[in-house]
Amino acid sequence: MAPIPTPPAEPQDSPDRYVGLASQDAEREARASGWTTVRSLPPGAIITMEYLAGRLNFEVVEGVVRRSWKG
């Protein structure tokens, strides 16, 4: 039987700290903090629900991060 893969460690960073920042600034800071994938989404966007370690999602309204979550 093949071993179960170990997912990479996520940055020790709170997604909440990006709320209220301009989306470009938030993305720059998230990448500098170690997030490998950062995606900006409009409110109500249809997205897949799979969890991807190292990914940070931003819900962006008028260029400002309104919500942020891992995966």
Chain segment 15-36, per-residue pLDDT in tens: 999 999 999 999 999 999 999 9
| Residue-averaged pLDDT of the chain | 93
pLDDT score, position 51: 87
Check if the beta carbon of residue 16 is closer than 8 Å to that of residue 68: yes
Nearest Cα to Cα of residue 64 among 24, 32, 28: 24
Q: pTM, whole model, 2 decimals?
A: 0.85
Sign of the CA dihedral with 56 first, then 61, 63, and 67 last: negative
Average pLDDT over residues 44-65: 93
